[in-house]
Amino acid sequence: MKKDLIGIKDLNSKEVEELLELTSELKNDPAKFDRTLKGKSLALIFEKPSNRTYVSFQVGMYELGGNSIYLGPEHIKLGVRESIPDIARTLSRYVDGIVFRTFAQKSLLEMAKYSKVPVINGLSDLTHPCQGLADIYTIKEKFGKFKGLILVYIGDGNNVCHSLLYAASKVGLNLNIATPKGYAPDPAIVEETKKIGNKTGCRIKLFLNPQEAVKGADVIYTDVWASMGQETEAKKREKAFKDFQVNNGLVKKAFKNALIMHCLPAHRGLEITSEIMDSLNSIVFDQAENRMHVQKAILIKLLAPEANGNED
């Protein structure tokens, strides 16, 4: 693997497969790895709020025998008190890895450029790779395969959607994406992932009609209509996305047993109804749990690439 995990784009299909295999090992036998990162420290720099990413990295690092340090906006005052290059240079002297949740992709790339230790994207406006990897791990866990399945993403062509495009294309999982007009994913990412998909057997289709998109769905996935940083657009977006709610009517158009996914946090009653989120087919909390197992695998691959369990 490369030094940093900026996006799933950086991983080839074999590396994705190896990460998912290590994730299974970690999930099934956590004790085998409980000292693997002993003596190592991880900085968690967050410019946006978080529950899953923050807690799962912290607990994950602890379960690997390592230590983590949370640096929220109030601690580090990124770009105000100190520049990103100077933060990266300093932290590289103390810690063995940096998880960075930020707005601009440029900030993430700058952190990675000046950091001597691995930088992991904990969500940017462009992508959310840890989420995408946990999502495909969860799909593999439920179905035992990717080939022939259809994942249907309904909603905003945002960071999560972009990471699903990369993840699905790398493993040969078919992906339908339904967005309102003007909210489609980045066309360059769609083109790029379609090309990757041609080699792996992943067919990517874009729709403007969610009813059409969910036909034959094995999994239906949604995310918030207004992401962090888009709060002022919330009302406008509620109008634009009103026909894109994942509700009983829409789910009925998919395969009877289609599973329901959401990266969380969910806005019940907007992008998803409580009825669907709490239904028997909903796997949203399995998905949330798997964030931690996948991230432990990422941490081992980047911070102790030679390790095959505890070293002592």
Instruction: Give catalytic residues, as residue numbers.
Output: 101, 128, 131, 223, 263, 291
**Amino acid occupying residue 119:** V
C-alpha angle 224-271-49 in degrees, rounded to nearest 5: 25
Residue 80 CB, nearest approach to ligand NVA (Å):
22
Site string for ligand CP, 262-281 (x = CB under 6 A): -xxx----------------
Q: Tokens 């294309």 appear where?
A: 169
Indicate the helix (H) or strand (E) that contains 54. helix 52-63
54 vs 183 by CB, closer to ligand CP: 54
The token pair at 140 is 């593999």
Q: How far is the CB of 95 from ligand NVA (least distance, A)?
A: 24
Q: Cα–Cα distance between 258 and 236 in angstroms, integer? A: 30
22-51 residues near ligand CP, rule: CB under 6 A: 50-51
Interface region with ligand NVA, contact rule CB under 6 A, candidates 57-65, 170-178, 220-228, 280-288: 220-228
Choose, by CB under 6 A, the member of 64, 108, 119, 123 that binds ligand CP: 123
List b or e across 183-211, with b for residues whose CB sees 16 or more CB atoms inside 10 angstroms: bbbeeebbeebbebbeebebebebbeebe
Binding flag, residue 271, ligand NVA (CB under 6 A)? no
**3-class SS of residue 127:** coil
47 forms part of the interface with ligand NVA (CB under 6 A): no
Residues 6+ positions from 179 with CB-CB distance below 8 Å? 155, 156, 157, 161, 185, 206, 207, 208, 244
CB of 39 to ligand NVA, least distance (A): 31
Binding positions for ligand NVA, 153-192, rule CB under 6 A: 158-160
The answer to whether residue 64 forms part of the interface with ligand NVA (CB under 6 A) is no
Q: Which two tokens stand for residue 69?
A: 């340090």
Q: Is 69 helix (H, G, I), strand (E, B) or coil?
A: strand
> d(Cα 94, Cα 43) in Å, to the nearest integer?
9
Q: Quote the least distance from Cβ 291 to ligand CP, whole Å.
A: 7
Residue 51 binding result from ligand NVA, ligand CP, none, given CB thresholds of 5 to 8 Å by partner type: ligand CP
Query: What is the CB-side half-sphere exposure of residue 129 using CA atoms within 13 A?
Result: 23
Q: Does 263 bind ligand NVA (CB under 6 A)?
A: yes
Q: Which of 224, 277, 297, 299 binds ligand NVA (CB under 6 A)?
A: 224
Using alpha carbons, list the distances in angstroms from residue 288 to 37, 137, 249, 258, 282: 23, 11, 25, 18, 12
Which option in ligand CP, ligand NVA, none does residue 237 bind, with CB closer than 5 to 8 A by kind? Answer: none
Taking Cα atoms as reference points, which of 110, 132, 134, 130 lies closest to residue 120? 130
State the binding partner of 222 from ligand NVA, ligand CP, none, CB within 5 to 8 A by kind: none
Q: Which amino acid, residue 72?
A: G
Asked if 131 is part of the footprint of ligand CP (rule: CB under 6 A), the reply reads yes
312 touches 36 (CB < 8 A): no
Residue 92: helix, strand or coil by DSSP? helix
Q: Which is nearer to ligand NVA, 228 or 240 (CB)?
A: 228
Could you give the string, one character per residue 102-131, with x where binding to ligand NVA holds by CB under 6 A and - elsewhere?
---------------------x--------
CB of 261 to ligand CP, least distance (A): 11
Please report, as ranges, the residues that interact with ligand NVA according to CB under 6 A: 123, 158-160, 223-224, 227-228, 263
